[in-house]
Amino acid sequence: MTQPKPKVDLCPECRGSHYVLQNREGRVHGELCACFKCPECEGRGHVFIEDETGISSLRECACAGLVQRLKKLNEAGIPGKFSGTQLATYQPIVASQKIALRIAKDYVQEYGNSAQGLLFMGRPGLGKTHLAVAVIKDLILDKGMDCKFVDFFQLLSDIRFGYSQDLSEQAIINPYVAAPVLVIDELAKGRNTEWELTMLDQIISSRYNAADKITLITTNYLDQEANPKKGGKGDSHVEIGSGNGRKASAAEETLLDKVGERIYSRLVEMCRFVKLEGMDYRQEMQGKQTAPARPRKKK
């Protein structure tokens, strides 16, 4: 007769992971859970090891690896709103989202087998940033990778502010150029002036030429017209309902239009393009919250 497995009581705070993540000052911050007590070092982070000759030496405890990974997570610059974001919490609805989730999971599992990154593209509210953040959180916490997150529009603001502080462009962008794994969120957002494209080109070209850097990207722009319409030039300004209450032009700007041929060509080589479709999740949730309650039937 098979004996039932004993029930394991997991810590309600960390659910057995031994760490907790929270939003601290607008950034994801991780620390060891109060439940974690290393039986080897009892929290000291080091142990004494005695060799065959009886000589003892101080060695780093195995638990120090988790502490180091949490430090890397805290230095990644992930926005605090994503403290609870995981691949397991992504809720795909349509086929393209299910495929994107599978690609993200496979990417983490098979990390190191390919020099390509991922480029998640699609309209707002489809979970592109969710997937990119979840991937680097897993790469940091499970594989100990050094990763960085940057919102491209915010980076441009930081560079402009740096000018007033006598900081060079390179001083600001170098940490992102040097990161082994980098998430660039909201690529092509903004006016895409010549100066903005020059900043983007510096980052993309440096990482492209390094050949050992992985770049994950999110963008609201597609690699082709979102709603191509058959016909001649006279159709270029026809508006088409996009299915979510939004009007979309048949001649919407593409990612190529926004970043130019040079940058786009390098992105094609650097990343696997992953297209997401569907309804804007945020708008859908807002609609559910504001929908009037149905009147109760009288008995």
Average pLDDT, the chain: 85
Q: What is the mean pLDDT of residues 41-50?
A: 67
Query: Around Cβ 112, how many Cβ atoms within 10 Å?
Result: 9
If asked whether residues 148 and 63 sit together in one domain, one would say no
Q: What is the mean pLDDT of residues 71-90?
A: 97
Q: Which residues share a beta bridge with 216? A: 118, 183
Question: Is it the case that residue 11 has pLDDT exceeding 70?
Answer: yes
Q: What is the mean pLDDT of residues 203-232?
A: 83
Q: What is the pLDDT confidence band of residue 191, given thresholds at 50, 70 and 90? A: confident
Tell me what percent of the residues of the chain surpass a pLDDT of 90: 64
Q: What is the pLDDT confidence band of residue 2, given thresholds at 50, 70 and 90? A: low
- What radius of gyration do the chain's Cα atoms show? 24
CA–CA distance from 248 to each of 99, 124, 170, 216, 256 (Å)?
A: 25, 13, 38, 27, 18
pLDDT of residue 55: 75
If asked whether residues 116 and 28 sit together in one domain, one would say no
In a domain, 91, yes or no: yes
Gap between the Cα atoms of 191 and 268, Å rounded: 22
> Which pair of structure tokens corresponds to residue 122?
């699609």
Q: What's the pTM value of the predicted model, to 2 decimals? A: 0.82
If asked whether residues 180 and 36 sit together in one domain, one would say no
If asked whether residues 184 and 253 sit together in one domain, one would say yes
Question: Is it the case that residue 112 has pLDDT exceeding 80?
Answer: yes
Q: What is the mean pLDDT of residues 40-49?
A: 67
Gap between the Cα atoms of 36 and 19, Å rounded: 8
Q: Which residues share a beta bridge with 147? A: 181
pLDDT of residue 45: 65
If asked whether residues 61 and 95 sit together in one domain, one would say no
If asked whether residues 170 and 201 sit together in one domain, one would say yes
Burial of 153 (0-12, 13-18, 19+ CB in 10 A): middle
pLDDT of residue 132: 98
If asked whether residues 141 and 200 sit together in one domain, one would say yes
Q: Is the dihedral of CA 51, 55, 57, 61 positive or negative?
A: positive
| H, E, C per residue of the chain | CCCCCCCCCCCCCCCCCCEEEEEECCEEEEEECCCCCCCCCCCCCEEEEECCCCCEEEEECCCHHHHHHHHHHHCCCCEHHHCCCCHHHCCCCCHHHHHHHHHHHHHHHCCCCCCCEEEEECCCCCCHHHHHHHHHHHHHHHHCCCEEEEEHHHHHHHHHHHHHCCCCHHHHHHHHHHCCEEEEECCCCCCCCHHHHHHHHHHHHHHHHHCCCEEEEEECCCCCCCCCCCCCHHHCCCEEECCCCCEEECCCCCHHHHHHHHHHHHHHHHEEEEECCCCCHHHHHHHHHHCCCCCCCCC
Q: Is the dihedral of CA 169, 171, 173, 174 positive or negative?
A: positive
Q: Which residues share a beta bridge with 150? A: 184
- Note the pLDDT tens digit of each residue in 151-162: 999 999 999 999
Q: What is the pLDDT confidence band of residue 209, given thresholds at 50, 70 and 90? A: very high
In a domain, 78, yes or no: no
In a domain, 76, yes or no: no
Query: Around Cβ 98, how many Cβ atoms within 10 Å?
Result: 12
Question: Is it the case that residue 297 has pLDDT exceeding 60?
Answer: no
Gap between the Cα atoms of 152 and 154, Å rounded: 5
The range of the structural domain enclosing residue 62 comes to 19-48+56-68
If asked whether residues 62 and 90 sit together in one domain, one would say no
pLDDT of residue 233: 39
Q: What is the pLDDT confidence band of residue 239, given thresholds at 50, 70 and 90? A: very low
In a domain, 13, yes or no: no
For the ranges 36-45, 251-260, 287-296, the lowest mean pLDDT is seen at 287-296
Gap between the Cα atoms of 75 and 89, Å rounded: 23
In a domain, 155, yes or no: yes
Question: Is it the case that residue 64 has pLDDT exceeding 60?
Answer: yes
- Note the pLDDT tens digit of each residue in 131-146: 999 999 999 999 999 9
Q: What is the mean pLDDT of residues 269-286?
A: 85
Q: What is the pLDDT confidence band of residue 232, given thresholds at 50, 70 and 90? A: very low
> Which residue shows structure tokens 């594989």?
143
> Which residue shows structure tokens 């497995």?
5
Question: Is it the case that residue 234 has pLDDT exceeding 50?
Answer: no
